[in-house]
């Protein structure tokens, strides 16, 4: 009898967890039962994102960071995680195992390899993560999110699927350019970037805005995500410049905020880049300067190398805010440029990413009838 079960494994950050949750939801709609494995951090993320999602904790750690003792402990955790994963595979009998990156995805994929069970990897970033590079030689196929993803293993099939994002982003209409921005038809600027982005942007952006000509300041509306401890100060700064603004610690209607935007200033996490492409908006991308292996820079290049976004570097902006001011001014003064960037970005979106991932998974359903017996 053919198994209709899979095991999903993802690391403990939203970048790994959220795409895995999207795939899990879609598999369930396709009549495929899923068991979700992650570490304690992953459990915490999932509890916040989808409280009803059942998830099973496994042991994991990074053997590539820390001192010798910490690496040894991490290796022991991974070994124990493999034993736990073997137990879940034997008990659950999946037809395949899918990893979404991060070290908690390592034990289930290693266990699948021991059991000679088909396995797949999905890489969200354009810079392939260390865990996925280590695991790539042990899977049947690697699914990537970006055409420029590097480095790639040479001895396994690679499939470009894209990164799943909220379907509503594709349903929203194409960007409509304004002939010019003015007080009556202002340029809406959305500034977002997670907690680390919010902290840095709350310091950088007001300084940049203050350097813009008064006429330009009157023709913009700023919507900005900000940390709670910076909220009142940021609002005071914008009010003192008479800048129309709406600042919040969280937006529960982000697709609508993105739809209203003429320009988006954002970090360059994989999900952020995929969402900007999906909705099609002009974007100034400021990669997090301390991201592991500079993966945010590689993500930003997925759009910038195709002239679909503009990359700026935080350290350079902090030294010279006029760098960001110049690029922002070039977009505000030239709405046609906003339109060109928006069109090019949307042309790079992977509208069928989720379906393509599901199809790749289902292709293994009849290769292993019932998995481990």
pLDDT tens per residue, range 1-13: 568 999 999 988 8
Task: Say if residue 317 is in the same domain as residue 341.
Answer: yes
pLDDT at 116: 94
What is the pTM for the complete model shown? 0.91
The answer on pLDDT for 369 being more than 60 is no
- The answer to whether residue 158 is domain-embedded is yes
Task: Say if residue 80 is in the same domain as residue 189.
Answer: no
In whole angstroms, what is the distance from residue 117 CA to residue 295 CA? 30
Task: Say if residue 218 is in the same domain as residue 134.
Answer: no
CB atoms within 10 A of CB 72: 13
**Among the listed ranges 50-54, 189-193, 248-252, 365-369, which one has the minimum average pLDDT value?**
365-369
Average pLDDT over residues 14-23: 91
What band does 372 get if pLDDT is binned at 50, 70 and 90? low
Average pLDDT over residues 55-69: 87
Task: Say if residue 153 is in the same domain as residue 99.
Answer: yes
Task: Say if residue 124 is in the same domain as residue 261.
Answer: no
Per DSSP, the three-state class of 180 is: coil
Number of domains in the chain: 2
pLDDT at 246: 97
237-263 residues labelled b (16+ CB within 10 A) or e (exposed): bbeeeebbbebeeebeebbebbbebbb
The answer on pLDDT for 133 being more than 50 is yes
Task: Say if residue 147 is in the same domain as residue 31.
Answer: yes
CATH number of the domain that 247 lies in?
A: 3.40.50.2000
Task: Say if residue 97 is in the same domain as residue 213.
Answer: no
- The answer to whether residue 110 is domain-embedded is yes
- The answer to whether residue 370 is domain-embedded is no
Task: Say if residue 152 is in the same domain as residue 268.
Answer: no
In whole angstroms, what is the distance from residue 103 CA to residue 110 CA? 11
pLDDT tens per residue, range 158-210: 999 999 998 999 999 999 999 999 999 999 999 998 766 788 999 999 999 99
Domain that includes residue 20, residue range? 5-163+351-362
pLDDT at 373: 45
- The answer to whether residue 371 is domain-embedded is no
Task: Say if residue 178 is in the same domain as residue 143.
Answer: no
Are 259 and 286 in contact, with CB atoms under 8 Å apart?
no
């Amino acid at each position: 009898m053919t198994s209709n079960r899979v095991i999903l494994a993802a690391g403990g950050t939203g970048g790994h967890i959220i795409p895995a949750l999207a795939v899990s939801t879609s598999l369930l709609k396709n009549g495929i039962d899923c068991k979700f494995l992650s570490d304690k951090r992953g459990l915490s993320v999932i509890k916040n994102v989808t409280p009803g999602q059942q998830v099973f904790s496994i042991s994991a750690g990074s053997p590539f960071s820390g001192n010798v003792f910490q690496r040894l402990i991490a290796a022991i955790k991974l070994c124990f995680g493999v034993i736990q994963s073997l137990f879940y595979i034997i008990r659950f009998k999946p037809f395949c195992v899918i990893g979404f990156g991060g070290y908690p995805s390592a034990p289930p994929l290693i266990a699948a390899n021991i059991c000679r069970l088909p396995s797949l990897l999905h890489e969200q970033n354009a810079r392939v993560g260390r865990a996925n590079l280590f695991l790539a030689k042990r899977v049947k196929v690697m699914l990537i999110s970006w055409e420029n993803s590097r480095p790639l293993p040479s001895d396994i099939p690679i499939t470009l699927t894209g990164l799943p994002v909220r379907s509503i982003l594709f349903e929203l209409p194409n960007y409509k350019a304004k002939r010019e921005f003015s007080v009556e038809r202002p340029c809406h600027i959305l500034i977002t970037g997670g907690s680390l982005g919010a902290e840095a942007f709350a310091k950088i952006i007001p300084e940049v805005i203050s350097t813009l000509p008064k006429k330009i300041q009157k023709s913009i509306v700023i919507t900005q995500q900000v940390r709670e401890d910076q909220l009142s100060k940021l609002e005071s700064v914008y009010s003192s410049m008479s800048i129309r603004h709406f600042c919040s610690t969280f937006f529960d209607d982000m697709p609508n905020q993105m739809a209203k935007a003429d320009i988006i200033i954002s970090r360059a996490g994989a999900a952020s880049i995929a969402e900007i492409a999906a909705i099609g908006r002009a974007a100034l991308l400021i990669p997090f300067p301390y991201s592991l292996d500079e993966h945010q820079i590689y993500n930003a290049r997925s759009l910038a190398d195709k002239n679909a976004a503009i990359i700026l570097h935080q350290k350079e902006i902090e030294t010279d805010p006029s760098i960001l001011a110049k690029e922002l001014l070039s977009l505000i003064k030239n709405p046609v440029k906003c339109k060109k960037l928006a069109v090019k970005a949307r042309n790079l979106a992977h509208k069928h990413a989720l379906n393509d991932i599901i199809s790749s998974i289902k292709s293994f359903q009849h290769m292993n009838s019932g998995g481990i017996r």
